[in-house]
Amino acid sequence: MAVSVLIPTPLRGLTADQDTVETQEGTIAELIQSLESEYPGIGNRLSSEDGVLRRFINIYVNGEDIRFLQGADTPVKNGDEVSIVPAIAGGKDC
């Protein structure tokens, strides 16, 4: 069993339109590196060159926001589900 990563629609072009991909256990930082190795370009969308997670990307492990866990050092293990959720902004006040 592996770690399941749910890919949001805007990033699916980098994963050959797959909505879920699998990776190995480790930390969120290692997961992003693994995704970048398999799907070039996705790592740059999730974190900066120095490895800091982009503020407009929300990542959840089993429904828990990693900002309230250990951030990029949050461990993920086989059987976990990781959700990548880009922030939505914009609109007009009525």
Q: What percent of the chain has pLDDT over 70?
A: 94
Residue 16 phi/psi, 5-degree rounding, is 55, 40
Give per-residue pLDDT as tens, 40-71.
999 999 998 888 899 899 999 999 999 999 99
Report the Cα–Cα distance between both ends of the chain, in Å, rounded. 48
**The whole model's pTM is what?**
0.88
The superfamily in CATH containing domain 3-86 is: Beta-grasp domain (3.10.20.30)
Summarize the confidence of residues 70-91 as an average pLDDT: 90
Could you tell me the two tokens for 6? 């749910």
- In terms of DSSP H, where are the helices of 1-94? 28-38, 42-46
